[in-house]
Amino acid sequence: MSFSDQEYDQLIANASQHSDLSLTACRWVQGNEHRWEKWLPISLMEKPKIYLGGLFPLTGKSWSQPGLVEGARLALDLVNQDVTTLPNHTLELLVYDTQCEYDVAMNHFISLIQRRAPPISGILGTGCSDPAERIAALSKHFNMMMISYGAEAQDLSDTEKYPYFFRTIPPVQLYTHVYPELFQEMGWGLVGALAEGGQELPEYHLTLQDRLQVHGISLIVRRKFLNNTRTPGYSANFERVQVTEC
């Protein structure tokens, strides 16, 4: 910490005009932030952090997307670099692997709620609807905001049941307005639908079937299957549908 001769002369001149030296010092501090901020230790220059609990399907049998974490971190970096959004705080993400399983995701959520340091201000996730519904039902009791990047369940649109839940994608029901035009554009008159076990898609398929019929498209087959290491993947299910229907 040092002053130039010119700065010393200016301070002495200002002090001679005021009997209150603290007022002189205060005015110098207010007008010379670019000077004294360089004297602060790094620990004092860091902005307070707001911690978010990130629930992501890093691994798992049904769905894993580790790349989602990098997308979330890029989003946080953009917010932290924007001085108009959070000028006095910094967002930091604490990442947990849900494996797209509701019991694993719930365990992480409970751990986040119970932790004392650092406290969690909100939840980013989950990507799957089943754990999202269960966690969103509990988050309202802790006034904990939850923003999902992948949960499509229609029931999550109930703002009275899930007042602290938000998402960056539309609910699955909205796609029923898209598929008829898409299938017509592709010239498809007969279509089939597959659903993984544990999702609400069987009910969604009924709604989709009704809407497709209005547009002259037939949903001729609906199949529900389990997606894990002991069952065939999508290709095998497609082949099974073709054999069954033919």
Question: What domains are there in the chain, each with its CATH number?
Answer: 5-40 (no CATH), 47-169 (3.40.50.2300), 174-245 (3.40.50.2300)
Q: How does pLDDT run across 206-243, given as a tens digit for each residue? A: 888 999 999 999 988 877 766 554 444 556 656 666 65
* Euclidean distance between CA atoms 98 and 87, whole angstroms: 32
The pLDDT, as a whole number, for residue 230 is 45
Query: How does strand 218-225 pair with strand 90-97?
Result: unpaired
* Euclidean distance between CA atoms 98 and 100, whole angstroms: 5
The pLDDT, as a whole number, for residue 198 is 53
* Alpha helices (runs of H) in the chain, residue ranges in sequence order: 5-17, 21-31, 33-36, 42-45, 67-81, 102-114, 129-139, 179-186, 201-214, 234-245
User: Whole-angstrom distance between the N-terminal and C-terminal Cα of the chain?
Assistant: 84
The pLDDT, as a whole number, for residue 100 is 87
* Buried/exposed code over 78-93 (b: 16+ C-beta within 10 A; e: otherwise): eebeeeeeeeeeebee
Q: Is the pLDDT of residue 200 over 70?
A: no
62 touches 21 (CB < 8 A): no
Work out the pLDDT band at 124, boundaries 50, 70, 90. very high
Segment 113-137 shows an average pLDDT of 90
Please, which residues have CB within 8 angstroms of residue 223's CB and are 6 or more apart in sequence? 192, 193, 194, 195, 237, 240, 241
* Euclidean distance between CA atoms 79 and 77, whole angstroms: 5
Q: What is the DSSP letter of 169?
A: S
Pick 50 or 15 by higher pLDDT.
50
Segment 159-183 shows an average pLDDT of 93
Mean pLDDT of the chain: 84
The pLDDT, as a whole number, for residue 81 is 93
Helix (H/G/I), strand (E/B), else coil: 120 = strand
Residue type, 235: S
- Is residue 233 exposed (0-12), middle (13-18) or buried (19+ Cβ within 10 Å)? exposed
Pick 92 or 10 by higher pLDDT.
92
> How would DSSP label each residue in 40-62?
S-HHHHSPPEEEEEEEE-SS-SS
Q: Looking at 32-46, 100-114, 160-174, 219-233, which range is the least confident one?
A: 219-233
* Euclidean distance between CA atoms 139 and 141, whole angstroms: 5
Q: How does pLDDT run across 43-80, given as a tens digit for each residue? A: 666 789 999 999 999 998 877 888 999 999 999 999 99
* Euclidean distance between CA atoms 57 and 99, whole angstroms: 5
Q: What is the DSSP letter of 218?
A: E
